[in-house]
């Protein structure tokens, strides 16, 4: 490679300097990259060949039933559990590298903070542990963002569970992390608190902070996540963007006068189910926007009376249940 004018003026660069410049020119590493993770506890397989990545500024949801391996994966990513196999990079560095971990904010599933400290003192402690400097005003803003502005000087021992979880969120966010890992962040929160978390996540995303979130509240995940990984018995059962996972649309119709030809026409549009005069057609994603007018015209031409036509997008919850209820070995829908 020909050195640029600046390099020529400064004389020949050392190998280390040249490598550092090359690295500086690379796009930032993904926030999380993991490959082939495995973990067994005695005879119990908790994580079985799991690979995925989380990009900068991306909100990724980890979903799955109890015991699917979500928390174990989070702990492996954070270097808190040693995997039997597999590799992890956090922000481009090995998970055990303190320089990577200092840039990661973490809210554990089971959170407990020093009951004798005030909320302000807990935040100050975690800022010092992360080895960064965060002005007091910014720490106060962080407590305000989680709704604890008026409890900043109170001891944590007197906090309700939901208030402790709010404090945990502030702890995860206060040291200006580049990656935030939240294990069930809204399990103790009231509806207002859940809405606050949603806003916080969207604000993080706008600042290019990556978020990995484990939650059973699928509606929330659907609202904030760009991508999801669905786990079942330690394995990835499905993954992708919400558009990819929810691409399938259904058409619900209420019809009468449906003869054999009309039923065949409906079945040609997609997988058909019928409950008396209610028909549901699962539309292939690529045709979902174009199929309806032609189908309705054809049905009317075949003498069918059309009472209602409703295109419906399946929810993440419906999709999750259909994936988890599919027989093992069967192609996941
Ligand atoms: N420390 C441990 N010792 C033994 N088994 C464990 C341990 N931690 C997890 N497991 C087992 O690993 C499996 C996955 O557990 P994990 O906590 O990762 O699931 P999860 O998806 O987070 O579940 P939940 O939604 O209930 O929190 C379970 O069968 C669990 O019993």
ipTM of the complex: 0.97
Return residue ranges of the chain for CATH 3.30.70.980: 248-313
For residue 265 and ligand 1, the question of a CB distance below 6 A is answered with no
Report pTM: 0.78
Task: Calculate how far, in angstroms, residue 73's C-alpha sits from the geometric centre of ligand 1.
Answer: 10
- Other CB atoms within a 10 A radius of the CB of residue 240 amount to 13
For residue 79 and ligand 1, the question of a CB distance below 6 A is answered with no
- Which of 37, 38, 39, 41 for a ligand 1 pocket mutation test, highest count of atoms within 8 Å of Cβ? 41
98-150 pLDDT, tens digit each: 888 888 999 888 878 899 999 999 999 999 988 888 999 999 999 999 999 99
For residue 72 and ligand 1, the question of a CB distance below 6 A is answered with yes
Strand-pair partners of 75? none
Specify the 3-state DSSP secondary structure of 23.
Answer: helix
In CATH terms, the superfamily for domain 248-313 is YebC, transcriptional regulation domain (3.30.70.980)
Strand-pair partners of 105? 180
Return residue ranges of the chain for CATH 3.40.50.300: 32-244
For residue 213 and ligand 1, the question of a CB distance below 6 A is answered with no
Sheet holding 227-232, edge to edge: 104-107, 179-183, 210-214, 59-63, 227-232, 235-241
Name 97's Cβ contacts closer than 8 Å, sequence gap at least 6: 90
Domain at 32-244: CATH architecture: 3-Layer(aba) Sandwich (3.40)
- Which of 37, 68, 82 for a ligand 1 pocket mutation test, highest count of atoms within 8 Å of Cβ? 68
244-303 pLDDT, tens digit each: 787 667 889 999 999 999 999 999 998 898 999 999 998 876 665 678 889 999 999 999
């Amino acid at each position: 490679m020909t050195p640029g004018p600046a390099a020529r003026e400064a004389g020949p660069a050392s190998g280390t300097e040249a490598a550092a410049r090359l690295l500086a020119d690379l796009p930032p590493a993904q926030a999380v990259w993991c490959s082939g993770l495995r973990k067994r506890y005695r005879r119990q397989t908790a994580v079985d060949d799991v690979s995925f990545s989380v990009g900068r500024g991306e909100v990724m949801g980890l979903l799955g039933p109890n015991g699917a391996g979500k928390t174990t994966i989070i702990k492996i990513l954070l270097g808190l559990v040693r995997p039997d196999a597999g590799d992890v990079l956090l922000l481009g560095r090995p998970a055990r590298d303190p320089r990577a971990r200092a840039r990661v904010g973490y809210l554990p599933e089971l959170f407990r903070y020093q009951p004798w400290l005030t909320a302000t003192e807990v935040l100050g402690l975690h800022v010092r542990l992360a080895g960064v400097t965060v002005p007091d005003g910014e720490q106060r803003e962080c407590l305000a963002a989680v709704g604890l502005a008026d409890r900043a000087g109170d001891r944590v021992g007197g906090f309700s569970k939901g208030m402790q979880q709010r404090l945990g969120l502030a702890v995860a966010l206060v040291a200006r992390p580049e990656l935030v890992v939240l294990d069930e962040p809204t399990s103790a929160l009231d509806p207002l608190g859940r809405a606050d978390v949603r806003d916080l996540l969207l604000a993080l995303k706008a600042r290019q902070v990556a978020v990995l979130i484990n939650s059973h509240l699928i509606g929330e995940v659907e609202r904030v996540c760009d991508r999801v990984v669905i786990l079942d018995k330690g394995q990835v059962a499905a993954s992708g963007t919400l558009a990819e996972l929810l691409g399938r649309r259904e058409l619900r119709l209420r019809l009468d006068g449906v003869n054999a030809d009309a039923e065949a026409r409906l079945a040609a549009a997609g997988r058909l189910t019928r409950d008396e005069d209610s028909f549901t057609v699962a539309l292939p994603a690529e045709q979902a926007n174009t199929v309806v007018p032609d189908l309705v015209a054809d049905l009317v031409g075949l003498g069918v009376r059309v009472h209602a036509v409703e295109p419906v997008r399946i929810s993440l919850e419906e999709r999750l249940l259909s994936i988890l209820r599919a027989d093992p070995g069967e192609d996941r829908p």
